Amino acid sequence: MEKKYKVKVNDSYEFEFTSEEIEAIDKQQVSESRFHVLQDNRSFKAEILNSDFNQKKYTVKINSNVYEVDIANELDLLIEAMGLSLSSAQLVNDIKAPMPGLILDVNVKEGDEVKEGDYLLVLEAMKMENTLTAPGDGVIKAVHVQKGQGVEKNQLLIELE
């Protein structure tokens, strides 16, 4: 299975690449941060000006233009597709199933007060137990599932207010 990457440039342009496409680029490393690249019979001088490996953010100079580049790998793309990113969890009051599965336990009932990180329910999916937690402080408005119930991806499980 080929690895896929999504690259965002200057928060404006998005590109998708496979690892095979990246390896096929005709490039020569000139120094630790400088490269010579040939693409479509055109020559480019590339230099990595700044890199944050943990955040996958880079500042790259191609010829005389500077670009801010964000790279997302397959895991990042999967987390985003499942709606599990931290930024989206903070804004959501509806707890939905991230994947199809079976409800093993419901730890809250309507009217309960919860704090950020409190365990709400346990969902078994792909032979793994996943504990869903409260994205923030609130009160349980409604519980739409019960123990032993099967659920589909994105099915509403719990509402917070």
**How high does pLDDT run on average in the chain?**
88
- Confidence band (pLDDT; 50, 70, 90) for 117? confident
What integer pLDDT is reported at residue 79 of this predicted model?
78
- Answer whether residue 49 shows pLDDT above 60: yes
The predicted pLDDT at position 23 comes to 87
Residue 126 confidence (pLDDT): 83
CB 145 within 8 A of CB 104: no
Say how far apart CA 57 and CA 72 lie, in whole Å: 9
Confidence category of residue 11, pLDDT binned at 50, 70, 90: confident
Residue pLDDT, tens place only, 142-153: 999 999 999 999
The pLDDT of residue 145: 95
Contacts of 5 (CB under 8 A, 6+ apart): 16, 17, 18, 19, 22, 71, 72, 73, 74
For the stretch 28-42, pLDDT in tens is 999 989 999 998 889
Q: Name the band, by pLDDT with cuts 50, 70 and 90, for residue 89.
A: very low
65, 76 contact by CB (below 8 A): no
Q: Which domains does the chain possess?
A: 4-74 (no CATH), 92-160 (2.40.50.100)
Sequence letter at residue 138: G
For residue 88, what pLDDT is reported?
45
